[in-house]
Amino acid sequence: MRLPQNRKRWHYCNIDQEKINKLSSELNLDPLLAKILLARNTGNGKKEEILKFICPPDTMITDTYGVSSPENLLKATERLQRAIALEEKVMVQGDPDADGTTGAAVLIIGLKALGLDVYYDFPIRPVEGHGIQTRIIDQSKKLKANLLITSDCGSNDVVVTNYANSVGIDVIITDHHKISKNLPDAYAIINPFLVPDDNPAKFLAGAGVSFKLILAIFERLGRTISKDLMDHLLAITALGTISDRMSFISPMNRIIVKKGIEALNNTHKEGLRALKMISGSYIKKYKARNISRTISPRLNAPGRIGNRHENIPDSRIVVDLLILGTGKKNAKKANKVLKKFDYVIEKDLRIKQEPHAQKEALLVDDVNEKRKYITVAIENEIDRLIKEQVKDTDKITIIKGHNWNPGVIGIDTDRLRDRFLRPAMILTEYTNSPYIRASIRSIPTINMYKIMECVINKFEAKHNRSIFKVEVETMLGKRMVNAFGGHAQACGFTFHKNDISELLRIIRLEMDSLPEDKFKYSYEIIDETKYQDINHNLINKLDTLMPYGQVFEYPLFIIKNCTLSKARSFGNKYQKNRTPHVEFLVLRPENISIKSAPAHIDAVGFGLWEQYCEVVSNNTGTKYDLIFTVDIDHHKSKKGTSKSRLRLNVMDIRRAEC
């Protein structure tokens, strides 16, 4: 099936030049930076708000207002104070993704610093999915942990929370997902959505919510957080915020990420250093935009496919790594963990780093390789199913497979969305289960969480029961628990296979009711640039507005009438038949001297090999227009040394009009 025509939609940011000049003058900013700020509607165009965006005050790091309602925050800190006084055991249960694991690590590090005995666990995602697990509640009971604290989950887990209450375990929920009408009967819920919409904390990641709770309990106890501890917490919170694609328009997220990345780049913690080395030993100084391409996938991989029953390390291994401090004591702790997983470590340990922390990091990397293999295998099958299951007129791309690993279908759903530039859903049924699991990804203009809430309400109104429920075993027998969660751009859920026809009917009706302009998603081009202006000075100028991320994306530019050369396809070792990426050269125009610009600029187009072939092949002498971001590519040379080069990350390509 050919890609839809809307893949070619390019949108130019037409900002009034007088507004650009005025803002540039008022803030003493380069006009290009002023244009970027106006194009993103930063601070609603108000000078004071824009200044707050560029340089958020440090007080936003420690401010706990808005992380939840005052009564919930008070109850949570009171309960933690009692746990400390009574020397209680505490169980932390996180969601198995990067945000949940980093949030759990923040809670564990902070609570241990206060003297608490802390256990931690996560759902086995391929088997159990998401949300608070009755298994972990039962485990907490056996360990005599009377307090369970969640990370990045729990706001909709009504039945499971009631079960915890019934066996004498208090639950403190820390989460950032939207809340439903019926809140769980938890001891306390720490969630920014319990506060009105103008709340500055509403864009926090799950890790950010956990971080704020730790700050609040330290404040209640009158304890000072040392710089070493604060830096450790900030570095991990920044990783969670970046990995979960939280809004970078939010000044609170910006200052957390800015300070967190500074801490990450300067850290002496063995776990964080090892994670950096295995994710990109050639990167001397991490930025938010390369963390999302290097560290984030490794934090996510164990949670996606980890299964302790099959001896595949799960999310616990990530936390084991993140909480490592410095010194021999931590090396010994790491070694004890690694003994269980040594069989998977097949890589040559060439990193000049503390060896046990290296092994921990390499293990995470090994799991990431397994995730790549599974993801590509599913993607190959999806190619075949598209012809059978997808129509050009569909408002949402829906693919149903069989026995696919539920931990990785989110990645393939992402790719399906990007392929057709419309919301996508992947369903997978299982031979030995009556339940179907699903993953949804959306485009920026459509809030799929709200769509699915409408689907839930219409199903319940017609059938007088909830659709997204699964049956689980507990110490008190079988119970039906919630199996739906997510946010505007990504949702996941589980339902009984008998309901599939009705569910798809309602979803398609909801999607068909949306106006056409909701589907007009396009690349937003900030400005046209000349070949000779693509240089390190441009990157340094753009870095003035760091960090870039979700909502405040790294700027897209266009360069016209290019000559291209030396294209080659590439991909990871599991993509030999797919080779989806392309690397090529953009040649210096003939009218520009060698003193003004280099002979060529390296360019890469991820997932664009087929499109490159279609547009460029057999068109000798043709010029091309590219839209791209520009950055420094850090890589290893053939001799193994660290190198860097200017590179265009090409998003789309077309033949020049003239």
Q: Which helix (H) or strand (E) holds 189?
A: strand 188-190
Whether residues 295 and 260 share a domain: the answer is: no
Whether residues 275 and 262 share a domain: the answer is: no
Contact partners, residue 154, CB within 8 Å, separation at least 6: 131, 132, 161, 171, 173, 174, 175, 184, 186, 189
Q: Which pLDDT band holds residue 182 (cuts at 50, 70, 90)?
A: confident
Whether residues 90 and 239 share a domain: the answer is: yes
Q: Is the pLDDT of residue 573 over 90?
A: no
Whether residues 558 and 639 share a domain: the answer is: yes
Q: Is the pLDDT of residue 60 over 70?
A: yes
Q: Which of 62-71, 378-387, 541-550, 599-608 has the lowest mean pLDDT?
A: 378-387
Span 142-168, mean pLDDT? 95
Whether residues 573 and 446 share a domain: the answer is: no
Whether residues 286 and 343 share a domain: the answer is: yes
Q: Is residue 583 part of a domain?
A: yes
Domain CATH code at residue 451 = 3.10.310.30
Q: Is the pLDDT of residue 176 over 60?
A: yes
Contact partners, residue 589, CB within 8 Å, separation at least 6: 531, 561, 563
Q: Is residue 19 part of a domain?
A: no
Fill in the DSSP letter of residue 533: G
Q: Is the pLDDT of residue 538 over 70?
A: yes
At 5-55, the pLDDT tens digits run: 444 578 888 899 999 999 999 999 999 999 999 999 888 878 889 999 999
Count how many domains the chain has. Answer: 4
Answer with the one of 519, 537, 563 that is the final residue of a domain. 519
Whether residues 452 and 489 share a domain: the answer is: yes
Q: Is the pLDDT of residue 334 over 60?
A: no
What pLDDT was estimated at residue 593? 82
Q: Is residue 575 part of a domain?
A: yes
Indicate if the alpha-carbon torsion angle 341, 343, 344, 350 is positive or negative.
Answer: positive
Alpha carbon of 70 to those of 16, 250, 434, 450: distances in Å? 43, 21, 43, 27
Indicate if the alpha-carbon torsion angle 218, 219, 222, 226 is positive or negative.
Answer: positive
* Residue of 313, 281, 116 whose CA lies nearest to 637: 281
Give the dihedral of Cα atoms 591, 595, 597, 600; nearest 10 deg. 90
Q: Is residue 252 part of a domain?
A: yes
Beta strand 435-441 pairing with 469-474: unpaired
Q: Is residue 42 part of a domain?
A: no
Whether residues 320 and 464 share a domain: the answer is: no
Q: What is the mean pLDDT of the chain?
A: 85
- Report residue 94 as tokens: 């996180």
Contact partners, residue 227, CB within 8 Å, separation at least 6: none
At 357-374, the pLDDT tens digits run: 555 565 666 666 666 666
At 208-220, the pLDDT tens digits run: 999 999 999 999 9
Q: Is residue 44 part of a domain?
A: no
Q: Is residue 5 part of a domain?
A: no
314 and 122 in contact (C-beta within 8 Å)?
yes
Domain CATH code at residue 184 = 3.90.1640.30
Q: Is residue 382 part of a domain?
A: no
Boundaries of domain holding 336: 268-377
How many other CB atoms are found less than 10 A from the CB of residue 354? Answer: 20
Whether residues 226 and 162 share a domain: the answer is: yes
Whether residues 475 and 604 share a domain: the answer is: no
What pLDDT was estimated at residue 548? 92
Answer with the one of 239, 266, 293 that is the final residue of a domain. 266
Q: Which of 236-245, 283-292, 332-341, 460-469 has the lowest mean pLDDT?
A: 332-341
Whether residues 548 and 500 share a domain: the answer is: no
Answer with the one of 356, 377, 398 that is the final residue of a domain. 377
Span 143-169, mean pLDDT? 95
What pLDDT was estimated at residue 348? 23
Whether residues 89 and 178 share a domain: the answer is: yes
- Report residue 514 as tokens: 């949306």
Name beta bridge partners: 525: 12, 556
Domain CATH code at residue 547 = 2.40.50.140
